[in-house]
Amino acid sequence: MKILLLGSGAREHALARALASDPATTELVVAPGNPGTAAIATNLLIDPTAPEEVVELATQMGADLVVVGPEAPLVAGVADTLRQAGIPTFGPGAEASRLEGSKAFAKEVMAAVGVPTAEVAVCTTREELEVALDRFGAPHVVKDDGLAAGKGVVVTSERAAALEHGLACLAKEGGRVVVEDYLDGPEVSLFCVCDGATVRPLAPAQDFKRLGDGDAGPNTGGMGSYTPLTWAPEDLSEQVVREIAQPVVDELARRGTPFTGLLYCGLALTSKGLRVVEFNVRFGDPETQAVLARLTSSLPELLHAAATGHLADTPGPTWSQQAAVDVVLAAPGYPGTVTTGGVITGVEAAEAVEGVHVLHAGTGLSDDGDLVATGGRVLSIVALGDDVAQARQRAYEAVSRLHLDGAQYRTDIAAGR
């Protein structure tokens, strides 16, 4: 199978690694790729968000499958143009991609099929505020809509205190107050491979979105991940498919915009039950790095079956009993203004740790041939182990062998899991 993979992050390096190592793959081109994918595939420099450029490359190489990594090409309609050209493509069209691009669209689809989501009510009157407080129940989350995220938020079990804060927000000129569902449980990412009709879940994973240990500091693209989630209900994946992914996929098919690709269900396991926090329409980063490390069945065959509408006749994915932990190494300044150009050393030493491989994201080669940081998230250090604790210990041993001046990483990824 000749495969074209679009993207350039550690997620795409993880995808490239799983595709390239499978005997079903005869040729793999990554566009634009990174120094890590260059070692296992052919990198070609095109604009992955330009539909005509992508179709031209896929046609030239006679691609049997195009796998779209990031969301930007999907939103730009690259998958639509590829499918119109008759090229099997793993990735939804622009309309179905609105599940990620438009929160309002996602909420509307979920409401249409009764999917439980983290609800939000925007109130402009006392009456609306009181109705929302009673509908969501305690603990109450009341947020001043006029302030930046995270400010002016009161979380309280006391209805009177919630009402008082809400009324104070409303009293301001043009005051609007947002009442939200309180998500009191852990978050889980479940990736569902879809062919427009059939849904196959991958292994659930958890990511760590904040920059600092203990979930301190600003939000990032993700600073680490692990799988399996031994603490999660055993039937979690079946439940998510039954109650969330399958109804959404059926609804999009009914609307004439079938979802072919990866439906990323971002979930909270709350005391009130499962809640969808968000949908994304592509593999998550950094969860993919950990999830694919445990995949023992063929990724190209799975994605090709999805792209060609044959998932129902294809066996589901199988998994190693081992655990995987991914620690992200970021450049100084991330997620703010990043300092690039720092020389990275120790990759070979890190990969000498048992069970470890290092995936590239924001890396490049300097004129002197040094590996240097070129972006915010620089490397993903992935370790397999007999359990999460061993995988974690190996990942951090590998991290200790890497050097990048001012590098940032969390020291508590998968701690105590």
Binding residues for ligand GLY, rule: CB under 6 A, are 207, 222, 280, 284-285, 287
- Which 3-state string (H, E, C) describes 362-408? CEEECCCCCEEECCCEEEEEEEEECCHHHHHHHHHHHHHCCECCCCE
| Residue nearer to ligand GLY on the CB measure, 136 or 279 | 279
| Residue nearer to ligand GLY on the CB measure, 222 or 261 | 222
Residue 316: DSSP 8-state: P
For 60, other C-beta atoms within 10 Å of its C-beta total 11
C-beta nearest to ligand GLY: residue:
284
| Residue nearer to ligand GLY on the CB measure, 136 or 283 | 283
d(C-alpha 129, C-alpha 385), whole Å: 50
| Residue 285 C-beta: closest distance to ligand GLY, Å | 5
| Residue 50 C-beta: closest distance to ligand GLY, Å | 23
d(C-alpha 200, C-alpha 259), whole Å: 13
Alpha carbon 178 to its chain centroid, in Å, reads 26
| Residue 11 C-beta: closest distance to ligand GLY, Å | 8
| Residue 261 C-beta: closest distance to ligand GLY, Å | 14
| Residue nearer to ligand GLY on the CB measure, 88 or 266 | 266
Q: Cβ distance 227 to 204 under 8 Å?
A: yes
| Residue nearer to ligand GLY on the CB measure, 222 or 355 | 222
Which residue's entry shows tokens 């994973």?
205
| Residue 149 C-beta: closest distance to ligand GLY, Å | 17
Q: Cβ distance 66 to 4 under 8 Å?
A: yes
| Residue 138 C-beta: closest distance to ligand GLY, Å | 29
d(C-alpha 128, C-alpha 410), whole Å: 42
| Residue nearer to ligand GLY on the CB measure, 33 or 284 | 284
